[in-house]
Amino acid sequence: MNFNKKIIATASILGAITIAIGAFGAHGLKELIDAKSLATFETGVRYQMYHVFALLIVGFASVIPSTTQKWVALFFMIGIIFFSGSIYLLSLNELFVFDAKSIGFITPIGGLFFIMGWLRLAYGVIVNK
């Protein structure tokens, strides 16, 4: 069986981190932030986990060219950091002494990286012979 160990290992580590972040949100934040902020936090967790699953599939799919796998993995990981990471900070804004809203512009950039990853996957599969 041919698969990309680095992508699968990265996805596995990100999966564990996602579960830990989700558990922190579900159990540790209820008393610290309001319901709207908690829902926002959960959106970050959800999108992160979607892309962890996608990374696992990409890493195991030997029919996807390795160059495509690498680009998709890079785009998805940047998307996770920018999109989910900024959402986490924004939802926790009331806990910080600084205003995290100043990094709000990063969230759509992360979303753009997610979109680029999906489009790069489509392109790589279409041109694969």
Nearest alpha carbon to residue 60 among 5, 116, 123, 115 = 5
Q: Give tens-digit pLDDT for 45-88.
A: 999 999 999 999 999 999 999 999 999 999 999 999 999 999 99
> Measured between alpha carbons, how far is residue 79 from residues 19, 31, 35, 74 in Å?
18, 29, 25, 8
- Quickly tell me which residue has 């993995």 as its tokens: 73
Q: Is the pLDDT of residue 129 over 80?
A: no
What phi, psi does 35 have (nearest 5°)?
Answer: -60, -40
Which residues, in sequence order, are CB contacts of 10 under 8 Å at separation 6+?
55, 73, 77
pLDDT score at 90: 94
